[in-house]
Structure 1
Amino acid sequence: MIKYTLITFIFLFGISCADKTKKSSKDTATPQTVENSISDVDQNSTEVQEKILLGVQSREALEEAPYKEWFDENYNDYKVDKETLEAIKPLLEGVNIKIFMGTWCSDSQHQVPVFFNIMDKAGYSYDDFTLITMSRDKTTPANLEKGLNIINVPTIIFYKDGKEMNRIVEYPIHTLEEDMLQILQGKDYKNPYAE
């Protein structure tokens, strides 16, 4: 039994948040949540229920069970670089931010709470912010990802004057606040998947 539990644990947490499969042409999930059954290796074992948020969400949705545990832990454990934060603050004026994430994705579970920690300390108002949660195949019921080339999550997109400045994809090159600063300063930033 321990062997099967360990295999299931490795399977669930070892899945990358990269797009390794083709997007399905039909999204059968509801706009808010979907429960996925992931069968254990043993056919006689019980199934693990996973509740996945889908569509536009509020931050508060991530601060509720079952997401609260990883949100609070990663938010509270991250120590923001205060010097970089001070450089970010004045550059946030007029910047719209859109995050695509998966509540099932370990990179999203880490980076999104860290993002909120940084932005809270920067005094960001969230008036121009959108949080979008996706299925495992990087889709949403309302096709909010259409035309945005979302291949990995989390994807944090920065906009100014209606145009994309740049994006952080899956994980930062340096730290989240250092990468944000490069983007907000208009420097030549390339995420790990940029060509």
Structure 2
Amino acid sequence: MKKILFIFSVITLVACNSSKEKKKTDENISKEIISENNKEKINDTVPYEDSVMLLGKANRNGFKMEAFNNWFNSGYESYSADSEVMQQLKPLLKDVTITVFMGTWCEDSQRETPHLYKILDTAGFQESDLTLITVSEEKTTPQGFEEGQDINYVPTIIFNKNGTELGRIVEYPITSLEKDMLAILSGQEYKHAYAE
């Protein structure tokens, strides 16, 4: 009788584990299908010179790749935002969304993007309100994210509130990144480097 109970227990255990494994497999397949249907790749790379560049939608994790982490990490760590400006800037970032067009191949983008992340982290800005678009040397993406955005130079950092553009910083700040952001978000007169 004990042998029969033991065998029954083993069969039940195997059946339960098999069912759990099937469920896990089904969940993984579902995730893959959702990813395939979504077709929105994040941190996609393409060959560039002797390395790669990011192209399309990206996020901070993309800068952890070996091709980018040296300039991103050193730029982030070395930047120190003006604390007085940051106190004024922090409340103005509420309900603001930011779109950054940058090129991982571009020296200006390599300089300003880590600084922007440092400022936003210092201000406690929600990264979900930041859209990062990485472009080719022609300032394009395969998905056409740049269309209608007037992207001629990178980085271009666009500040929006309630669907309305408040202003943009183009290629480099006029004073400093955080001071230019403060001017834009507080409604002061501001002209980017290429404004007429």
- TM-score category (smaller protein): 0.7 to 0.9
2:185 and 2:173 map into 1 onto residues whose CA distance is 14
2:77 and 2:153 map into 1 onto residues whose CA distance is 25
The equivalent residue for 1:9 is none
The equivalent residue for 2:132 is 131
More helix by share: 2
What are the residue-to-residue correspondences of 1:15-94 with 2, within 5 Å?
A: 32-37=44-49, 49-94=50-95
Give CA deviations for 1:38-94 in whole Å, capped at 9, x if unaligned.
Answer: xxxxxxxxxxx1301000001111122110000000001111100000000000110
2:125 and 2:71 map into 1 onto residues whose CA distance is 22
The equivalent residue for 1:99 is 100
Higher relative contact order (CA 8 A, sep 6+): 1
What are the residue-to-residue correspondences of 1:170-181 with 2, within 5 Å?
A: 170-181=171-182
SS in 1 for 2:128: coil
Contact 2:88 2:182 in 1 (8 A): yes
Contact 2:51 2:67 in 1 (8 A): no
The equivalent residue for 1:145 is 146
Question: What is the count of residue pairs matched by the alignment?
Answer: 154
The equivalent residue for 1:15 is none
Give CA deviations for 1:105-150 in whole Å, capped at 9, x if unaligned.
Answer: 0000010000000110000012211000000010000000000100
1:63 and 1:177 map into 2 onto residues whose CA distance is 24
1:178 and 1:36 map into 2 onto residues whose CA distance is 34
Query: Residue type matched to 1:187 in 2?
Result: Q
Give CA deviations for 1:168-192 in whole Å, capped at 9, x if unaligned.
Answer: 0000000000000000001110001
TM-score between the two structures when normalised by the length of structure 2:
0.77
- Output the aligned Cα RMSD: 1.0
Q: Kindly, what percent of the aligned residue pairs are identical?
A: 48
Which one has a bigger Cα radius of gyration? 2
2:48 and 2:172 map into 1 onto residues whose CA distance is 25
The equivalent residue for 1:155 is 156
Structure 1 outlier segments of 4+, above 2 Å: none
The equivalent residue for 1:3 is none
SS in 1 for 2:172: coil
